């Protein structure tokens, strides 16, 4: 009973904060609403016994990604541009289409609900082994190659983000190491014949 209460209250908070992300004019308000929806979905994941992923969601998203978003919003200083009309002309039609999408998805989910195979015994796995232990065991044995590819993707993201935003300064006096190494000593000094002066 308490789980239903938690689920319905938290999911209504989640839906309201997602609507706030879309509807706010100021991007700072949208970012703060997105933080609220991340934390709320983290709590809902705790209800599904995905403790590790819930903590990772809150740490990585709220702690890193949303702080990065807020940094960019503050750095670009776009608050004064938000006075214009915020929605374009296709907005009513888009909302209509979106409502149709919701209706279709919910209809499919609830009509064909017998076709979703669910395990008959939902065991409480947290009582035997922790979710983190199970996930780590699975990740470092069967999915080790995927894990390393994920690390490579993160490395790639670091390199791309730095190379996109790095602005080389002009008139910068730097050493070019390859030219310094490849100097030919014979070309360094030139002997000039001087005529004798009397």
Cα distance between residue 58 and residue 37, in whole Å? 10
For other proteins, the closer CB: 84 or 188 = 84
Nearest distance from residue 180's CB to other proteins, in Å? 32
Residue with tokens 């699975």: 138
Q: Say if residues 20 and 30 touch (Cβ distance below 8 Å).
A: yes
For other proteins, the closer CB: 114 or 182 = 114
Nearest distance from residue 8's CB to other proteins, in Å? 9
CA 32 vs. chain centroid, Å, equals 15
Q: At what angle do helices 27-47 and 2-23 cross, to 10 degrees?
A: 160
For other proteins, the closer CB: 90 or 189 = 90
CA atoms lying within 13 Å on the CB side of residue 10 = 17
Nearest distance from residue 150's CB to other proteins, in Å? 4
Cα distance between residue 167 and residue 122, in whole Å? 55
Q: Which helix (H) or strand (E) holds 58?
A: none
For other proteins, the closer CB: 120 or 178 = 120
Cα distance between residue 168 and residue 158, in whole Å? 18
Nearest distance from residue 155's CB to other proteins, in Å? 9
Q: Considering just the CA atoms, what is the radius of gyration of the chain in Å?
A: 30
For other proteins, the closer CB: 4 or 184 = 4
Token pair in block for residue 55: 């903590």
Nearest distance from residue 171's CB to other proteins, in Å? 19
Nearest distance from residue 172's CB to other proteins, in Å? 18
User: What's the length of the chain?
Assistant: 198
For other proteins, the closer CB: 122 or 177 = 122
């Amino acid at each position: 009973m308490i789980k239903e209460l938690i689920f319905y209250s938290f999911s209504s908070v989640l839906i309201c904060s997602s609507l706030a992300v879309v509807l706010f004019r100021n991007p700072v308000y949208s970012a703060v609403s997105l933080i609220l929806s991340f934390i709320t979905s983290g709590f809902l994941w705790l209800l599904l016994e995905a403790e590790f992923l819930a903590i990772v969601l809150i740490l990585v998203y709220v702690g890193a990604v949303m702080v990065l978003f807020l940094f960019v919003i503050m750095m670009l200083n776009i608050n004064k541009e938000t006075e214009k009309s915020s929605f374009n002309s296709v907005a009513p039609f888009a909302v209509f289409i979106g409502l149709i999408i919701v209706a279709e998805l919910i209809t499919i989910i609830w009509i064909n609900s017998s076709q979703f195979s669910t395990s008959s015994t939902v065991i409480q796995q947290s009582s035997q082994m922790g979710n983190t232990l199970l996930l780590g065991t699975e990740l470092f044995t069967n999915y080790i190659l995927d894990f390393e590819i994920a690390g490579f993707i993160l490395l790639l993201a670091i390199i791309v983000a730095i190379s996109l935003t790095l602005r080389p300064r002009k008139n910068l006096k730097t050493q070019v190491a390859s030219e310094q190494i490849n100097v030919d000593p014979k070309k360094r000094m030139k002997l000039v014949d001087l005529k004798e002066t009397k």
